[in-house]
Structure 1
C-alpha cells in the first residue's frame, strides 16, 4: 500500500472521529444526571451510557463506516476473522499457531487417554470423531492466507497420537472430501458444517461401529425430513459489522436445509422414551446445535437411539469431563460413546475451574503425557 493511500486512510479516520466527537459534545448539553446517584455502585455511569446510546444515533453509523473501510480497503474484519475468496469466511483459530500449543497438546492428549481409561473401566467403547478443519477441507477458498505449520500438521498428528494410544478414531477427511463433490460440507460464512456434512460423517462413523460393536437392542428405523430451506446468517459474519448501512457488502447468505429426524414407528414421538440407550454422543456445537442435525443423522445411520450430552460454547473436553462425573454414566452406562472433537481444539486451553485439580491430574495418569507426546511427534 502506497504512502499516499496510507495518509488518506489516516486523514479519513481523523475526519470521521472529529465529526462524531463534535456531534457527541453537542448532545451532551441535554444530559441530566439522576438526583442523588449512588456513586459506589456505578449508577451514574450506567445512566450516562444509556443516555449516550439513545441520543447518539451516529454510533452505529460510525461502526458500520469504519468496518466498511477496513473491509473494502484492506480485506479485513474484526480480530478473529480471516476473509477468503468467493465469499468464504474462516476463523483465525484454523490459521494461527497457539501459544504454548505443544504443551497444551500434550495435556489434552493425556486427558483424552484418561477418558478412554475411565470408560474402559465401565466396559464402554470410545469412538473419537476428529472433525477436520474447514481450511483443510476447503483450502481452495482461503486465498493468500495459509495455516501455520502447527495447524497444518495438526490433523495427522492427532490421529497418530490416538492411534498409538489404542483409541478408535476413523479418518473423516476422506468421506467429507468425497461428499463435497455432491453438496457443501461446511458453510461459507460459518465455522460449522452443513447438515449434509454431518450426515456424511454420521454414515462413516456408523460403518465403523457396525464392524466393531454389536449394539444392544433391536434396530430402529429413523426418518430424516427437510422441514425448511432458509437463509442462514453465519456466526463469522458477526466479525463484519456492516449492517445495516452496508449490509449489501456482506457475503451472500448460506442456504441451510433444516432437517429433523424422528422414529419411523411413532412418527415423531419422544425419542428418549427408552432409558436403556446404547449410544451416547458428547461434543461441541457441531453436535449440540439442532441446525446441523448431527445427532439425528447418527440415529438414522446407527439405527439406534442415543443420548446427546454435547454442549455449545464449551469446547470438546469440558462436556466430556462433565459426562464422566454424571449420574447418567454411573447409573446407565451406554455401550458406546461417540466423542465429536474438532481438530483445532487439540492445542487449545480449556476452562477447567469447575473440576477438582487432583481429579484432573489423576485422569491424566502417570507417564501418559510423556507417552502421548512421543507418539504425537
Structure 2
C-alpha cells in the first residue's frame, strides 16, 4: 500500500512550536459539535423517524436510517463539516487526506509526496511498457515522443510546506534519461518550466494554485518545448495555422479545493482557445489526414473544466493539426492501451504520437 512519505512534514497541532491553543482547540470544537448535534438531533423530527419495512437483525434498518435520515436530513451536517474544514485549514494548515496546503493559497495533491517499497519496480515496469508502445507504433511507421510533465510540487517547491521525498528527488530527470537511452525522445519540460518562471512574472503561474493541472500558460510552455523535439524527427507534417484567442478572465475553483471544505479560495484565469485560420483542415474525413496524435490524461483531454486546451497549444506550436485521444480520469496507461486498438489509429495512422505522462503517475499501478 502506498504510504505518506516519512520525510514530509505538515504544520499541525502536534508541532511543539505551535501555539498552546492549537493543542486543545480541536477537542473543544469536536465536543461542542457533538453536544449541539445531540440537541439538534432530538429536536429534528425527520431524524427521529425510523425506517419502516426494513430488517433490524441484518442491519438493513440501521443502514437505511443512517443514509436517509442522518446523512440526508440532518440540517447542520454540511455546515459543521465546512466549518471544521475551514478552521482546520486556517489554524493548522491542514487539508483532508489527499491534499496539502502550501504557502500563499497554493494547494498540492498528496500523490506527489507518496512513496512505497514497490515504487522502483513499478517505475521500471512503466519504462518497459513505454518501450513496448514505441515498438507497436513503429509497425505503422509512427514515432513516439513522451511529454513527461514534472510534478507541481517539484516546479513550485518554494510554495510548499513540505519536501519532495528523497526517494523521488531525482525521479524526473532519471526517468527522462532512461527514456532517451531507450531511443525515445522526451523534451525536458522541467527545465522549460524553471526557465519560464525565472524569466518573467507572466510565467509565475504555470500550474493552478488550487488545482492539479497546468494553466493555459503552462500548456503553452510545454507545447513550445515539445515542438523542436518533434521537428528534429525530420518528418514532413501537413501544415496548419492557428490563432490563439484569450478569453475574459473568470474565477475557477480547482479540483483540490474539495479537500478543504469551507474554504473559498479560487484561481483567476483567462482561458485560451485556438482556431485554425488557414484553408486546410482535413480532419478524420478529409484527404489531408492528421499526422500527430495526442494521447494522455486530463492535462490533455477536452472536458467541460478544461481551460488550458493543450491540444490547441500543441497544434499551434507544431504548425500541424493534432488528433486528441486523451481521456480524463484514467491515468496515462489506459488511454494509450485504448488508442492502440482504436479505429482512429486504424483509419488515421499517425506519423508522431505525443504521449503526455504526468510524473506523479509513474509509480501508480494500472491494470
TM bin (shorter chain) = 0.7 to 0.9
1:312 matches 2:328: yes
1:103 and 1:68 map into 2 onto residues whose CA distance is 39
Per-residue CA deviations over 1:138-159 (Å, capped at 9, x if unaligned) read 111113x101012212101111
Change (3 A) 1:74 1:304: same
1:15 aligns to what? 32
Q: CA shift at 1:175, angstroms?
A: 1.9
Per-residue CA deviations over 1:320-342 (Å, capped at 9, x if unaligned) read 11111112223431100000011
2:46 and 2:352 map into 1 onto residues whose CA distance is 67
1:5 and 1:35 map into 2 onto residues whose CA distance is 45
1:357 aligns to what? none
Q: CA shift at 1:301, angstroms?
A: 1.4
2:174 to 118, 134, 157: 157
1:270 and 1:332 map into 2 onto residues whose CA distance is 11
Per-residue CA deviations over 1:81-129 (Å, capped at 9, x if unaligned) read 1111111111111122245111111211111111111111221100000
The worse-fitting range, judged by mean Cα deviation, of 10-19 and 201-210 is: 10-19
Change (3 A) 1:230 1:29: closer
On the 8 A contact 2:22/2:92 being kept in 1, the answer is no
1:186 aligns to what? 207
Higher RCO (C-alpha under 8 Å, 6+ residues apart): 1
Per-residue CA deviations over 1:41-99 (Å, capped at 9, x if unaligned) read 96884476334345321101210122123223311010011111111111111122245
Q: What's the TM-score, normalizing by structure 2?
A: 0.85
1:280 matches 2:293: yes
SS in 2 for 1:341: strand
On the 8 A contact 2:185/2:229 being kept in 1, the answer is no
On the 8 A contact 1:87/1:189 being kept in 2, the answer is yes
1:90 and 1:171 map into 2 onto residues whose CA distance is 22
Change (3 A) 1:10 1:155: same
SS in 2 for 1:329: helix
Change (3 A) 1:331 1:19: same
Aligned CA-pair RMSD: 2.5
Give unmatched runs, 5+ long, in structure 2: 1-15
User: Number of residue pairs matched?
Assistant: 341
2:242 and 2:128 map into 1 onto residues whose CA distance is 37
1:175 and 1:216 map into 2 onto residues whose CA distance is 24
1:59 matches 2:77: yes
On the 8 A contact 1:281/1:310 being kept in 2, the answer is yes
On the 8 A contact 1:96/1:151 being kept in 2, the answer is no
Alignment of 1:222-261 (within 5 A): 222-242=242-262, 247=263, 250-251=264-265, 253-261=266-274
1:263 to 260, 268, 276: 276
1:89 and 1:35 map into 2 onto residues whose CA distance is 45
SS in 1 for 2:329: coil
2:154 and 2:181 map into 1 onto residues whose CA distance is 23
1:8 and 1:229 map into 2 onto residues whose CA distance is 40
1:179 and 1:274 map into 2 onto residues whose CA distance is 38
On the 8 A contact 2:42/2:48 being kept in 1, the answer is no
Give unmatched runs, 5+ long, in structure 1: 353-377
Q: What's the TM-score, normalizing by structure 1?
A: 0.83
On the 8 A contact 1:96/1:147 being kept in 2, the answer is no
